[in-house]
Amino acid sequence: MRTQVGIVGGGPAGLVLSHLLDRQGIESVVLELRSRDRLESEVRAGVLEQATVDLLNELGVGRRMEREGAVHHGIELRFDRKGHRIPLSDLTAGREIVLYGQHEVVKDLVEARLAAGGPMIFEAAATSMHDLDTTTPRIRFRRGAYLDLEAGGIRFREDAEEEEELTCDFIAGCDGFFGVSRPSIPERLRTEYERTYPYGWFGVLVEAPPSSEELIYTLHERGFALISTRSAEIQRMYFQCDPKDSTDRWSDEQIWEELQARTETIDSTSLNEGPILEKTIVPMRSFVCDPMQHGRLFLAGDAAHIVTPTGAKGMNLAVRDVRNLAEALAAWYETGKTSLLDSYSDVCVRRAWKAQRFSWWMTSMLHRHPDDDGFQYNLQLAELGYVTSSEAAATSLAENYVGQAFEE
């Protein structure tokens, strides 16, 4: 098999890239490990920056998002049992965010891609990459794969076929943190920066009406909590937990008790409760791989960098990567110029650190630190007091949260 750009991974990065390339008349094949069903049901983040929304609309895949997504103009920071609104749009010349689940974005992208005849191979595991520093890099992959989470790895069905090869002009590694792309860059040529936090997020999906018109990020003696939404019927909520905790240890009553306690205010507002449809524990990790390219392999999204979810940057950062990559590839196919390809990693790594800084700052400000003797907590309350009372400080949060326009 041969294609121009081999895309490993059919998450937001890989899918948006295939659409962007198609628009430039560049052919690609997307290899995705999961089945279509599995891919489209994975609940992840849900905050889209204006720039991401604009790009999805430009690609012609924004119709359902425009209909079902909720436009937000502010967020609430809650501490000391009081809420404080950060008016995002007022502080950023009208920029806004849209709440729309990542898996909904993925559904829309897959549907449009398949309708356009775009080759997408599901249940295909990329197993290795070869000749990355030649003009014909190759991806070895095998169909019939599935993810066995209990065994912690990729398995193949008994009737799975032999390995195949996809020869490309370029490879885009969009296969996430655990994918084969990043380790295909020789270890001595890359530096990985990582921080894991001593806490995680306990996330629930609940069937209930919204408890608030805007997202609530709250710091409480018992820890962080976040009240988010997916629709008029489905809400997404999180609370800080031990990353080694297990969802089975928590009854629905205990979960509600924890969420209610952490979000309680002096006028005793409480959350709307309802059946809990799903529980997951999300680890808190920050990660950057530098460089994000090697020969003709280019990493994008979680394969190259992970940000903590507190800044709501993850998917938006992935989309920014592939926008740069598509532009660089289009320039190469059009003129043979390599300057944009050459600077791809520098541009993306610098942006990743900027997002890293913001996510780290939000995370540190809003979580209880396990060894804290109270000094840290009081600093955090002072920081929150400053952010919610100084327009300069609130503007700094707002412009990072809504994100900037795409830079050229």
So which residues are the catalytic ones? 72, 217, 309, 313, 401
Assess contact for 369 and 376: CB atoms under 8 A.
yes
Nearer to ligand PHB, 74 or 173 (CB): 74
Phi-psi region of 270 (alpha: psi -120 to 50; beta: other; left: phi over 0): beta
Helices (H), 118-231: none
The least CB distance from residue 46 to ligand PHB, in Å, is: 4
Vertex 94 angle, CA 91 and 96, to 5°: 95
- Nearest position to ligand PHB, beta carbon: 228
- Residues in touch with ligand PHB (CB under 6 A): 45-47, 215, 226, 228, 236, 309-310, 312
Q: What is the rounded distance in angstroms from the CA atom of residue 113 to the CA atom of residue 30?
A: 10
Write the CA distances from 179 to 33, 64, 242, 283, integer angstroms.
Answer: 10, 30, 26, 18
Task: Answer whether 144's CB lies under 8 Å from 127's CB.
Answer: no
| Least distance in angstroms from the C-beta of 407 to ligand PHB | 23
| Count of Cβ atoms closer than 10 Å to residue 375 Cβ | 9
Q: Could you tell me the CA-to-CA distances from 369 to 16, 284, 355 in Å, in that order?
A: 37, 13, 21
- What the block records as the tokens of 192 is 């990985």
**How far is CA 384 from its chain centroid?**
25
Give the integer Cα–Cα distance in Å for 154 and 176: 14
- The count of C-alpha atoms lying within 13 angstroms of the C-alpha of 49, restricted to the half-sphere facing its C-beta, is 23
Backbone angles phi, psi at 218, to 5 degrees: -130, 140
CA-to-CA distance for 168 and 347, rounded, in angstroms? 24
Work out the number of other CB atoms within 10 angstroms of the CB of residue 178. 14
Least distance CB 238 / ligand PHB (angstroms): 7
* Nearer to ligand PHB among residue 85 and residue 140 (C-beta): 85
